[in-house]
């Protein structure tokens, strides 16, 4: 299989037409500093990360499979390592949603339990309780708390607001989050819990 043209992904623009529309003729072969590599297409699964030696001897961590990441809840300033459960929306490509590919900017479902238990211990209130469940658990025994703890908790109640949408998600045990790291470059799937206008926007998109 002898080709006149060398195969491989390049990042140079010499193969593209000029601004005037004229064709550019090839004046040199492909160079190593112009090279590109195949995309990671990170999926959800048991962690599998390949290390890549890049230009200058530096490393890139190509995540091929990931199952958890560091997700932060902005308004409560709470960051926890949680499991990534499912890819739900991708603004660029629906194919990436179908194949459950983790990329920066993808909307995913993450496990809500670490955030739920943090919130309940920090504010001392039950979160994400379904209506019929609340009626049934009327007679739960009260844990004894020291006066210092109760004072701390009542102080924290001031200015405490929890969005309805997030409360609903807590009940189902899954939160919507957006990936903000680049899994194919850093090998990590970190992100932020969707809140406020952004959450409303994506929920509307999901309904469509």
Give the binding site for another protein (CB under 8 A). Answer: 13, 16, 19, 74-75, 91-92, 105, 159, 161, 195-199, 201-202, 205
Contact 179, 70 (CB under 8 A): no
CB of 176 to another protein, least distance (A): 12
- How many angstroms separate the CA atoms of 40 and 42, rounded? 5
In this structure, what are the phi and psi dihedrals at residue 72, rounded to the nearest 5 degrees? Answer: -115, 145
Q: Least separation, in Å, of the C-beta of 195 and another protein?
A: 4
CB of 163 to another protein, least distance (A): 8
Q: Which is nearer to another protein, 147 or 161 (CB)?
A: 161
Judged by beta carbon, residue 75 or residue 133, the one nearer another protein is 75
Query: Which phi and psi (to 5°) does residue 205 adopt?
Result: -65, -40
What's the min distance (Å) between Cβ of 91 and another protein? 3
Q: Closer to another protein by CB, 17 or 59: give it.
A: 17
Which one, 186 or 203, has the nearer CB to another protein?
203
Token match 């459960």: residue? 85
Please, where are the H alpha helices in the chain? 94-98, 113-123, 131-136, 147-157, 164-172, 183-186, 196-207
């Amino acid at each position: 299989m002898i080709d006149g043209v060398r195969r491989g992904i390049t990042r140079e623009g010499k193969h593209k037409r000029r601004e005037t529309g004229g064709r550019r003729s090839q004046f040199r072969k492909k160079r190593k500093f112009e090279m590109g590599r195949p995309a990671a297409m990170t999926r959800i699964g048991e962690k599998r990360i390949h290390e890549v030696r890049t230009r200058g001897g530096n490393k890139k961590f190509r995540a091929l499979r990931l199952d958890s990441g560091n997700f932060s809840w902005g308004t409560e300033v709470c960051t926890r390592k949680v499991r990534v459960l499912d890819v739900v929306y991708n603004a660029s490509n629906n194919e990436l949603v179908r194949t459950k590919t983790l990329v920066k900017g993808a909307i995913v479902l993450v496990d809500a339990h670490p955030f739920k238990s943090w919130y309940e211990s920090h504010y001392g209130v039950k979160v994400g309780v379904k209506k019929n469940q609340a009626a049934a658990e009327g007679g739960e025994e009260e844990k004894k708390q020291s006066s210092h703890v109760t004072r701390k908790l009542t102080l924290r109640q001031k200015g405490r607001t929890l969005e309805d949408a997030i409360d609903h998600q807590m009940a189902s045990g899954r939160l919507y989050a957006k990936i903000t790291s680049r899994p194919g470059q850093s090998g990590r799937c970190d992100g932020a819990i969707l809140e406020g206008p952004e959450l409303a926007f994506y929920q509307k998109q999901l309904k469509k």
